Structure 1
Amino acid sequence: MPSKSSARLAALTVAAVCSAATLVVTGSPAHADSVRVHDIQGTTRLSPYAGQQVTDVPGTVTGVRGYGSSRGFWLQDPSPDADPATSEGVFVFTGSAPKVAVGDAVTVSGTVTEYVPGGASSGNQTLTEITRPTVTVVSGGNPVPAAKRITARSVPRAYTPAGDAAEDGSVDALPLRPARYALDYYESLEGMNVQVSDTRVVGATDPYTELWVTVKPAENPNRRGGTVYGSYGSQNTGRLQIQSLGAVADFPDAEVGDTLAGTTAGPLDYNQFGGYTLVAGALGTLREGGTERETTRAQQRDELAVATYNVENLDPSDATFAAHAAAITDHLRSPDIVSLEEIQDDNGATDDGTVSAGATVAKLIDAIVAAGGPRYDWRSVDPVDKADGGEPGGNIRQVFLFNPERVSFTDRAGGDATTATAVTKVRGKAALTLSPGRVDPADPAWENSRKPLAGEFVFRGRTVIVIANHFASKGGDQGLTSRHQPPARISETQRHLQARAVNTFVKDILDTQRNADVVTLGDINDFEFSTTTRLLEDDGALWSAVKSLPRSERYSYVYQGNSQALDQILVSPSIRRGGDFAYDSVHLNAEFHDQISDHDPQVLRFRP
């Protein structure tokens, strides 16, 4: 998966270029005397005045944004109508620092625009704005309209209606039903002054001074304070992104499980990175929840410990080697085998044809030794330059670390970026023709994506075949707040092909040796309930061991306040039937603001 920072920087570039609307409906000029904010907002997601000129729209300034690519202010009518579907607030896009202050009574003339954050191809909903404005300040120091309280009771349980099939699944033109659907409720408050109180943090503060809270603390909770995403129909309606109109230095460094105590209030915005967002003029006080990084137990003498860990674009220039070494040595208790994902080449994102990763891996191994861990040995296969996706020039790949004092690696030469390993029989047992080797790298399923790395290990005389994976990212999928409902998950197509390819390879192993011990693991970039996982498990060839955990503990990643499982370890029937295994999702990154990776590692212990 590309790093969040690279994805965000690309999106910010788009936002800066697309400061004008990407969706405009033209019409005849509106009559000045008849238009107020609720008329502009209307009873659907699209303004009935989109593309039209409006004159002298009255209201009070509730918030001013003088930074970033979307400068302007929020205007709210202090004389609302009686329709709960019509918002009384709207954003006025000025493009430069606004010359108004909170509490100013103003009139605004300009063009009503439906702006699509992220561009039309993103599938995002539109944000109703007044653009190219002429602003007249009538008076200052006026009371700001009272903030609408968003609570567990006010947000409906149902998330969104299905989109209009005749309009490509769009919800744009559907009448808003704020008492029935959460997204309709939030849309009916777009641009208005809102508030939440004593909300639990479910998404840690990120580098862009954002965090996520929930107004529904009882909605799919886990024991560490997060909100679990357990199905496509369980989107968790209480989640809300929080930003701040104040100084960056004043934004709290929050972890999942903390609380924003007291009142957090400000205009309700809509953006491409999280949908509905409370842009706070007043932030609650951070109350720590005591969430600590987890440590798993050590494996017993006769248990093989196999782990997967996405180290997020690790290259020799990074400052996180000691922290990653501590994670592996102290928190994972030095697993016997570690599948690392997102190991970059020896000069990171520099795009000069370098593909080797020996310096990157050596630096990590040395750091592990310095942290008191074993001196791991390692195996991998260098990719073809720029053929495996990820950060351009970085050439990410999977790498096996293994502790030679506990486990041995069976080397069979010949594996390279383009040569496929296959299954053969050696002394009546399944074996790989190349070890390490890649699984069917020429298959179109792996185009511009990481190819699976297969290796043969021996523990206490028993062979275990391990397949390390990093499936195609979710880039390009529409968000949960998309104008298309249900949102399109176009990235699944490639992951489904990848899952079938890995499943076929595992079946070849099991056809050769019915009781073979096979572990398939890595950053699957999909959920334990997804079709991707079902295709990996097809015909019982594999089983995702994360499902041995309680539903509330099945997560390795936190995205937009949803704790979810993207990293998985799947096992063959012989391991599952044995029943003597233990699975742990070790939460030491995803819930913390100072994370060294956006993924939590997973570890499986079993007796081959």
Structure 2
Amino acid sequence: MGAVDEIISFGPADDSGRSLAWLPANALENGTVSLLLVTGFGGALGDDLDADNDGVIDAAGFEILDSVAVEDGGPGDLAYGDTVLTEQYDGLDFPPGGASRIPDGADTDSTADWVRNDFDRAGIPGFAGTLATGEAANTPGAPNSLTVVVVPLPPADCNAATVSIASVQGSGDASPVVGSSVEIEGVVVGDFQDGGFDGYYVQDAGDGDPATSDGIFVYAPNGMAVAEGDVVHIAGVVSEFFGMTEITATANSVCESGAALPPAAELTLPATPEAKEALEGMRVTLPQDLAILEYFNFGRYNEIALGTERQMQPTAVHEPGSPEAIALDEANEANRITLDDGRSIENPDPAIHPNGEVFGLDNTFRGGDLVTDATGVLDYRFDLWRVQPTQGAGYEAVNLRPEVPEVGGNFSVSSFNVLNYFTSIGSGGDFRGANTQEEFDRQEAKIVAALAEIDADVFGLIEIENNDEAVFTLVDALNDELGGDVYAALDTGVIGTDVITTAFIYKPSEVELAGDFAILDESVDPRFDTDLNRPALAQTFADVETGEEVTVVVNHLKSKGSACAGDPDTEDGQGNCNLTREAAAEAMVDWLATGPTGAEPGRDLIIGDLNSYDKEDPIDVLTEAGYTDLLLAEQGENAYSYVFDGQLGYLDYALAGPGLLPKVTGAAAWAINADEPSLLDYDMTFKKDAQDAIFAPDPFRSSDHDPVLVGFDFIPPELSVTVDPEVVFPPNAKWRTVTFDIDATDDSGEVSVELVEATAEGHKAQVEVISDTEARVLARLGAVYTFVFEATDPSGNTTTQEVTVTVGP
């Protein structure tokens, strides 16, 4: 409890009697902490000053001159000294995250001397901020003040001796001279004084050692204005800012301008951390054609991830925890780097395309597009290696927006995640979806555009509000778009207790409801935990033209993100709650085997968001039970419907039962969402006005999951058979050859025709089949020969036709 976490030494006092010490990043921990100003301390880091944990510092031979502590109420926490800031010390019912001494000249050694800070960096160089009542500005080395005064840095001496930047960077992860004051000189290779970085990158001529970087970031929020090509002389203090070596400037000067920039060092992927560390802070270029992998943070922070090729989720192509999955995960990490924008502000305006131009509807990009020769400065921020660009990169659009996939057949089903379509706009509680009517209108327009283009006979919807209203509102909007009552909603009422649910909409002109819907929840099978999974919804639909039936089961299983009690992430790649999803899959298999809707088991189509990649345990349960993963079968191992952490895979499924599989004509995901940056979506929560305007009421980025489409062929082929001759004459008891002219067609492809039966009736009548197009009959008076043909299309649909040959006049 009384362990020494940090020892800070102060140098000689200045003329005002003050001494200032700079602490490296993370020197002080969050939570309960005591700051003691002491003299005569001879201990060391880790010493326990309160061995008996009684809240009183043991006699230690040093004098406490002043103190302040924050106690956040953690169990067993202790704070030391005369002044302890606790929850409600100033009337607020939560502990302070930071405080400053009130600059009134009084020192009462009580909490009355301290005011809670408001965290807007008031007084930090370059930040005016807004001071709370009584709050002191950040004025390191100067008296506390209620006024923010921005003091520019003093000039540095361009003739003073310098050290090489390489000696500051060193050859390891951290600088060997952290905490030291140094002077360097070099050319500015990246100016990022605006946008939140509050500094620039300086590179010198180098020391010739490829293991040491020749560039460094200079943090100078109240420094002079600089430009690329300026030769600057910097005096400052070395620190590690969350893993990035930097110098906080204490003096600066521009010694000359217009200097040539050093050649950009080529950084090629894959690259080890050591290779990147050797170029930290230097001007670099990425010469390869690199694919855009990740863009989740593009709208919020204007950053994208690049890699040598698009990357697959390890458990989408390899067994979880296998050596192959582990190796792919490691290779993915080595084969990526982040292209940033030189700004740390959120939702920057304008958003910048990798080509350096303003991002917009006429200048967008998709995952998989190529970026070449990205050039800028390499740095390490927020736990990622990044290139902060100083110029636009080459860009090539190679992943063009696709049309709706052709899946064939006469009966189609689509799984569509509608990304929290809520009609309870801006409601409290576990609220999701649109915050305003304008957002809702934008969201609905995109979803309706996508549904209308897909034009499926049956849609299984995921992430729709569980209020018995949203699905009907969506159907009304879709029908308004289509100009008639094309779709209807299955009326299930509220299903389960989650705020989101699954639902069906369908075309009554094409399909009919065959029986009632059925629901799988924990009341049916305790293995299907509906505190975590959404209940499974099944409905049998009958094709109006043929009467063929399909039982569609739409699901939304527990996500990987949050933990489940007793079902943690085992670090094998399957994420949290894998056992929960696996048990749900087992329950579903057994439930469907009973024909819960009254239809024939085995003619089931399992769709929806199963929150499992296709090599994971829940999918193994389904495929081992005889269900066929149609995306894998039709699109191959690299099929995807979702992008997470820059890696591809599919969580959205269409799994066909064995009785239905022969009727499948195609299955595909329509890549309208996962490959599109979220800046194009309906949400206006964080965006600036200019980014809100980057909107079109089209299908693209209508959700974050791509819809999945499946086609089925239930229409039998057309068959026409004629025989020559139809009448055999004379009846001379001799063998006669008859031939068959066969015409068989089907929209689904080539049709096979077989002569399946040949019968002879009459006295001594005999028939011999030579082939499917030729036979011999015995010409006996009154004999009747019957031939039955069967045509079979690629989906197994059959048509039969019978022709006869008679013998007589």
TM norm structure 1: 0.67
Q: 2:580 maps to what in 1?
A: 497
Cα distance in structure 2, aligned partners of 1:221 and 1:366: 40
Q: 1:399 maps to what in 2?
A: 503
Q: 1:315 maps to what in 2?
A: 422
Cα distance in structure 2, aligned partners of 1:69 and 1:138: 22
**Cα offset for 1:454?**
1.8
Secondary structure of 1:527's counterpart equals coil
- Give runs of aligned pairs for residues 1-12 of structure 1, distance below 5 A: none
1:309 corresponds to which letter in structure 2? F
Question: Once the two structures are superposed, what CA deviation does each residue of 1:526-550 show, in whole Å capped at 9, x if it has no partner?
Answer: 422334533x436435443221144
Q: Residues 311 and 277 of structure 1: is their aligned pair in 2 closer, same or farther, counting only changes over 3 Å?
A: farther
Cα distance in structure 1, aligned partners of 2:223 and 2:420: 37
Aligned with residue 136 of structure 1, among 216, 227, 252: 252
Secondary structure of 1:493's counterpart equals coil
Aligned with residue 540 of structure 2, among 457, 471, 494: 457
Q: 1:557 maps to what in 2?
A: 642
- Give runs of aligned pairs for residues 78-477 of structure 1, distance below 5 A: 78-84=205-211, 86-94=212-220, 99-104=225-230, 105-115=232-242, 127-130=243-246, 132-141=248-257, 142-150=259-267, 154-156=268-270, 181-197=271-287, 199-203=289-293, 206-208=298-300, 210=302, 212=304, 214=306, 216=308, 219=309, 230=317, 232=325, 233-234=327-328, 235-236=331-332, 237-245=334-342, 248=351, 250-252=357-359, 253-256=364-367, 258-260=369-371, 263-272=373-382, 275-289=384-398, 291-297=400-406, 299-301=408-410, 303=411, 305-316=412-423, 317=437, 318=440, 319-330=442-453, 332=454, 334-343=455-464, 345=465, 356=467, 358=469, 360-372=470-482, 374-379=486-491, 382=494, 388=498, 395-409=499-513, 420=522, 422=524, 440-442=528-530, 446=532, 450-459=533-542, 460=547, 462=549, 464-474=551-561
State percent identity of aligned pairs: 19
- Structure with greater helix share of residues: 1
Cα distance in structure 2, aligned partners of 1:74 and 1:597: 39
Secondary structure of 1:291's counterpart equals coil
Q: 1:522 maps to what in 2?
A: 608
1:144 corresponds to which letter in structure 2? L
Between 454-463 and 201-210, the greater mean CA deviation after superposition: 201-210
Partners of 1:410 and 1:455 within 8 A in 2:
no
Q: 2:710 maps to what in 1?
A: 604
Partners of 1:229 and 1:562 within 8 A in 2:
no
Question: Once the two structures are superposed, what CA deviation does each residue of 1:413-442 show, in whole Å capped at 9, x if it has no partner?
Answer: 8979xx64538xxxxxxxxxxxxxx98345
1:64 aligned onto 2:188: no
For structure 1, the residue ranges without an aligned partner over 5 or more in a row are 1-18, 116-126, 157-180, 346-354, 389-394, 424-437, 477-485
- Give runs of aligned pairs for residues 534-545 of structure 1, distance below 5 A: 534=620, 536-537=621-622, 539-540=624-625, 542-545=627-630
Bigger relative CO (Cα 8 Å, ≥ 6 apart): 1
Cα distance in structure 2, aligned partners of 1:363 and 1:441: 29
- Give runs of aligned pairs for residues 15-30 of structure 1, distance below 5 A: 21-22=25-26
Secondary structure of 2:275's counterpart equals helix
RMSD: 4.3
Which of structures 1 and 2 has the bigger CA Rg?
2
Question: Once the two structures are superposed, what CA deviation does each residue of 1:295-336 show, in whole Å capped at 9, x if it has no partner?
Answer: 1226533x3x22222222333432132322221221x2x223
Partners of 1:221 and 1:552 within 8 A in 2:
no
Between 291-300 and 204-213, the greater mean CA deviation after superposition: 204-213
Q: Residues 501 and 528 of structure 1: is their aligned pair in 2 closer, same or farther, counting only changes over 3 Å?
A: same
Q: Residues 573 and 285 of structure 1: is their aligned pair in 2 closer, same or farther, counting only changes over 3 Å?
A: same
Cα distance in structure 1, aligned partners of 2:562 and 2:382: 13
Q: 2:203 maps to what in 1?
A: 76
Q: 2:173 maps to what in 1?
A: 45
Q: Residues 570 and 69 of structure 1: is their aligned pair in 2 closer, same or farther, counting only changes over 3 Å?
A: farther
Cα distance in structure 2, aligned partners of 1:95 and 1:140: 21
**Cα offset for 1:149?**
1.8
Cα distance in structure 1, aligned partners of 2:613 and 2:519: 31
Cα distance in structure 1, aligned partners of 2:573 and 2:368: 32
TM norm structure 2: 0.52
Q: Residues 441 and 212 of structure 1: is their aligned pair in 2 closer, same or farther, counting only changes over 3 Å?
A: same
* Number of equivalences: 484
Question: Once the two structures are superposed, what CA deviation does each residue of 1:228-267 show, in whole Å capped at 9, x if it has no partner?
Answer: 9855433445443323349646334223454446x43111
Cα distance in structure 2, aligned partners of 1:356 and 1:91: 54
Partners of 1:194 and 1:265 within 8 A in 2:
yes
Question: Once the two structures are superposed, what CA deviation does each residue of 1:48-81 show, in whole Å capped at 9, x if it has no partner?
Answer: 445x334224443322323455433223333144
Cα distance in structure 1, aligned partners of 2:606 and 2:671: 21
Q: Residues 97 and 295 of structure 1: is their aligned pair in 2 closer, same or farther, counting only changes over 3 Å?
A: farther
For structure 2, the residue ranges without an aligned partner over 5 or more in a row are 1-22, 30-43, 46-159, 319-324, 344-349, 424-436, 564-568, 681-700, 715-809
Q: Residues 407 and 421 of structure 1: is their aligned pair in 2 closer, same or farther, counting only changes over 3 Å?
A: farther
**Cα offset for 1:201?**
4.5
**Cα offset for 1:184?**
4.0
Partners of 2:315 and 2:615 within 8 A in 1:
no
Partners of 1:469 and 1:524 within 8 A in 2:
yes
Partners of 1:506 and 1:518 within 8 A in 2:
no
Partners of 1:268 and 1:277 within 8 A in 2:
yes
Question: Once the two structures are superposed, what CA deviation does each residue of 1:197-251 show, in whole Å capped at 9, x if it has no partner?
Answer: 47355248642464647563xx4699xxxx9985543344544332334964633
Cα distance in structure 2, aligned partners of 1:378 and 1:22: 56
Cα distance in structure 2, aligned partners of 1:21 and 1:378: 58
Q: Residues 596 and 456 of structure 1: is their aligned pair in 2 closer, same or farther, counting only changes over 3 Å?
A: closer
Q: Residues 414 and 313 of structure 1: is their aligned pair in 2 closer, same or farther, counting only changes over 3 Å?
A: closer
**Cα offset for 1:405?**
3.0
